[in-house]
Amino acid sequence: MSQELRAVEWAGDGLWLIDQTALPGRLDRLRVETVDALVDAIQRLVVRGAPAIGAAGAYGVVLAALQAEREGWDRTALLAAVSRIREARPTAVNLAVCVDRVLPLLDRGREAALAEAHAVQREDERANRAMGAYGADWLVKRVAADRPLRLLTHCNTGALATAGWGTALGVVRELHARGLVEVVYADETRPLLQGSRLTAWELAHEGIPHYIQADGAAAGTILRGEVDAAIVGADRIAANGDTANKVGTVGVALACADAGIPFLVAAPTTTVDLATGSGADIHIELRDEREVLEWGGVRTAPAASRGHNPAFDVTPGRLVTALVTERGVLEVAAGQLPGEHLA
235 annotated active-site: yes
Nearest to residue 132, comparing CAs of 73, 91, 193, 178?
Answer: 178
Nearest to residue 151, comparing CAs of 239, 79, 219, 210?
Answer: 210
Measured between alpha carbons, how far is 209 from 35 in angstroms, rounded to an integer?
40
Q: Dihedral, CA atoms, 56, 62, 66, 72, nearest 10 degrees?
A: 110
Phi and psi, residue 113, nearest 5°:
-65, -40
The upper half-sphere exposure of residue 240, i.e. CA atoms within 13 Å in the direction of its Cβ, equals 14
| Active-site residue identified among 19, 235, 242, 313 | 235
DSSP class per residue in 35-93:
HHHHHHHHHTTSS-SHHHHHHHHHHHHHHHHHHHHHHT--HHHHHHHHHHHHTSSSS-H
Q: Tell me the catalytic residues.
A: 235
